[in-house]
Structure 1
């Protein structure tokens, strides 16, 4: 994504990974908390969760999940091994994003396609699970990007909303990528 201009103030989109970390840790005395549930609805129809929940087809059907985004799609121990064939028999649509939870992994090329997939799920009356291994970094980043792109939310508001429903902690690299997205989306505001 192209980023332009460096003179914006915080009300116009400029933010830092440190500022976003402060938002996530303010209520806990500056500690990073991890979720104590396998999944949480963070926005109507959008669930963020961990790999074990994503693999439990009975629970997915019980919750009414119709679409799955695997934000850690791949075959290494750092990925989550869910794929389209797992969901075909229960008629769940699938999108795989081969992200690593590393500060230098560029997740931005997947922001738009993930946002489109999530939006399509919601527009069709479905429910979407966005998961990674623990449901705290990669998956949360994609959901925050969705809220920014499709719901025109500022990164701070999107993070606060998601974090109010699930303890998430995207890594600093992903937080900076969200700040960069915010700068692009709100450059004229």
Structure 2
């Protein structure tokens, strides 16, 4: 999947974060825009239809621990497209394996010009882990820069130790996949260039022979 089309200057500003925002405790109950069209917050931010519509949200990723399913659930299935992921909020949970489904859902929505809210129960550990990996991959950032970018917009995030370890591991995974994806293109370019040189050499040889 192609990286988001953001200039280096825009990326630098995103990583640094807004300098004029004073974080207040109650803001942890709200959602914040991490990238254009991508919002992150707690379950509470997904419970007000009026607020969601005023923000322009069209897609919602609901990430929850299975034991929270009775309360953390899609509230407005007739108004928004939902992706529900049951993920254990503990350090042993493999979030890298579960990330591709969320990644595809978010990327498809953003490519259509839609707005996506990603939330878990508190918006502190579980959903931020997924958003950090998304930012890392599609902005082609290091795990540190991706974490800073998200944290500079939602100051209260704190992925647990297991999630943080996987966030670090994911940097090498996405870079390896990007290298493999780019390899056929680079190989094709080399083959075409070599054929062009061979054709030029053949033309030159024929010209000398005819002369």
Measured against the shorter chain, the TM-score band is 0.7 to 0.9
Q: Please state whether the residue corresponding to 2:87 is helix, strand or coil.
A: coil
- Choose which of 48, 52, 63 in structure 2 pairs with 1:60: 52
Normalised to the residue count of structure 2, the TM-score between the two structures is: 0.66
- Choose which of 53, 59, 62 in structure 2 pairs with 1:70: 62
Q: Please state whether the residue corresponding to 2:121 is helix, strand or coil.
A: coil
- Is the CA contact (8 Å cut-off) linking 1:115 and 1:149 kept in structure 2? no
Separation in 1, partners of 2:118, 2:90: 18
- Choose which of 73, 98, 102 in structure 1 pairs with 2:90: 102
Q: Please state whether the residue corresponding to 2:97 is helix, strand or coil.
A: helix
Unaligned runs of 5+ in 2: 1-24, 180-211
- Is the CA contact (8 Å cut-off) linking 2:29 and 2:45 kept in structure 1? no
How far off its partner does 1:150 sit?
2.4
Higher relative contact order (CA 8 A, sep 6+): 1
**Could you list the runs of 4 or more consecutive aligned residues of structure 1 that deviate by over 4 angstroms after TM superposition?**
none
How far off its partner does 1:149 sit?
2.4
Q: Could you report, residue by residue, the CA deviation over 1:83-104 in whole angstroms, capped at 9, with x for unpaired residues?
A: 3xx33321x1111111122111
Partner of 2:164: 175
Partner of 1:115: 103
Q: Which has the higher helix share?
A: 2
How far off its partner does 1:145 sit?
1.0
Separation in 1, partners of 2:27, 2:95: 22
- Choose which of 69, 72, 75 in structure 2 pairs with 1:81: 72
How far off its partner does 1:59 sit?
1.0
